[in-house]
Amino acid sequence: MHNFDFVKPSSIADAVAALSSEGAQALSGGQTLLPTMKQRLAAPDVLVSLTGIAEMQGVCTGEGGLHIGAATPHAVVARDAAAHYPALAALAGGIGDPAVRNRGTIGGSVANNDPAACYPAAVLASGATVVTPHRRIAADDYFQGMFSTALDEGEFITQVIFPIPHKAAYVKFNQPASRFALTAVFVAQFSDGVRVAVTGASNNGVFRWTEAEAALSSDFSAKAISDLTVAADDMISDLHGSAAYRAHLVKVLTGRAVTAAR
């Protein structure tokens, strides 16, 4: 059995110091890390819990839009973001089951960047800003492939800032057993155009469907993408669905998301 130390800092500064030690690993909601440790796929020497840091919790409006602390559980986002960003709140309310929603955190999800997770689609479609103790990272620069992000070793997320669109919707095709997204699409309309982010479909992780963005920026309706096609070349193919099936779902779900947003 691997032994490890557990620390629970009460401030961001203390967390930065704790994570600077060799073998330290940040722990947020633990919905990914703990199962990974149980399978002996991760063996940190120090677990640094971020859930006791008050300045990393909660939902509030501020400069740039809706500020959400990285240690905020999905259930709290679902409740407290509803009045400000309904599509984001609905996304949070559809993650996993009640146990997952009450333990899992937005920061943990965005840091892990699971290719089938929901939050990365919202972050990318919203053009959100990922904030760490050292810098701010634009969504377009943050996601760098499956399970890969711009975070440096020991760097952790303190909050995510979401610009609030005029209209938005998230439509997810659930993998029934896990409730992860087999494929899902987040569509957000801003004054300067539309952003479309897709999760669960690509071997490269969450991505923007730029052809649909251009079409929808001119005509925000499902028929605007009727003549577009999605290449299956980079799509995930597994026992739940083929690459071609996922490519088809991207187009179908984008149309549904636009209709729901309207």
pLDDT digits (tens, 9 = 90+) for 199-213: 999 999 999 999 999
How much is the pTM? 0.93
pLDDT above 70: residue 2: no
Top CATH class of 5-162 equals alpha beta
Query: Which CATH number applies to 167-261?
Result: 3.30.390.50
Structure tokens at 44: 């940190």
Contact present, 184 and 200 (Cβ < 8 Å): yes
Q: Where in the chain is the domain with CATH 3.30.390.50?
A: 167-261
**8-state DSSP, 166:** S
Give the pLDDT of residue 105: 95
What are the pLDDT digits (tens) for 164-191? 999 999 999 988 777 788 999 999 999 9
Q: Where in the chain is the domain with CATH 3.30.465.10?
A: 5-162
